[in-house]
Structure 1
Amino acid sequence: MAVPRLFAATSIVSAVAVGALLAGCSASVNVEKPELKMSAEKLANLVAEKLAATANQPKPNVTCPEDVPAKVGTTTRCKLTADDGSTLGVTATVNSVEGTKMNFDIQADETPTPAPS
């Protein structure tokens, strides 16, 4: 029984470390002009790439619930799911739009949610 708990604790510590590293990160991406929004899948990929680069780790599993319009101040909550099932919330906020380029601030929560038992 101690081994699964140790593994879960290690995964949660890793998720917290990723969260600590992401404080104040930002990223940008070009979007298609007709819809002037970014798809949920594209945003999830952008967030995952930023997390991986910041933490020098493999790209994590990130999902975002909805497409994001190219409007400054628009915020969405994405979710990083660790291999053990624990999760970490990530907020992505549009901080500027330059033509078809959207710039985001990405902020991870400080505390992960443990995996269901």
Structure 2
Amino acid sequence: MPKSFSSLASWSLAAAAAAALLVGCSSEAKLAKDEVANSVAEKLAAQTGQPKPDVTCPEDLAGKVGTSLRCKLTATDGTSFGVTVKVTSVEGSTIHYDIKVDETAS
């Protein structure tokens, strides 16, 4: 039987997840908030082997190294966790970022 998606062990594994996405053409790389949320949810589901959680982000992610965005993850049991998305590098229109899920529920 799979562990609860909100299990701390699952989140610990997911905290190391990283993503790189291609973004639309513009002078400054930017990733739409819905694309960030979807990518974070997919990466966490893949890391934990659990269903894709509901993730929402308040704004687009600017493609500038060091930029952080705080998103909200709601697990299938209704538990909420904060998620930090931090840009680690930008190559042209590709934004690379790390994902870190808070260790405790919000």
* Alignment TM-score > 0.5, same fold: yes
Q: Secondary structure at the match of 1:14?
A: coil
Q: Does 1:95 align with 2:83?
A: no
1:83 is the counterpart of 2:70: no
CA radius of gyration, larger in:
1
TM-score by length of 1: 0.80
User: 1:33 Cα deviation (Å)?
Assistant: 1.6
In 2, distance between residues paired with 1:109 and 1:19? Answer: 8
Question: Which is helix-richer, 1 or 2?
Answer: 1
TM alignment of 1:9-48, pairs within 5 A: 14-34=6-26, 36-48=29-41
- Any stretches of 5+ residues in structure 1 without a counterpart? 1-9
CA drift of 1:104 comes to 0.6
Which of residues 58, 69, 81 in structure 1 aligns to 2:62? 69
Distance 2:54 2:46 in 1: 14
Length-normalised TM-score, structure 2: 0.88
TM-superposed deviation, 1:112: 1.2
Task: Give the fraction of aligned pairs with identical amino acids, expressed as a percent.
Answer: 51
- Mapped to 2, the partners of 1:23 and 1:61 lie a distance apart of 16
User: CA offsets per residue over residues 50-78 of structure 1, 9 Å max, x none?
Assistant: 00000011111000110011111110011
- What residue ranges of structure 2 are gaps of 5+ in the alignment? none
4+ long deviations beyond 6 Å: none
Matched, 1:108 2:89: no
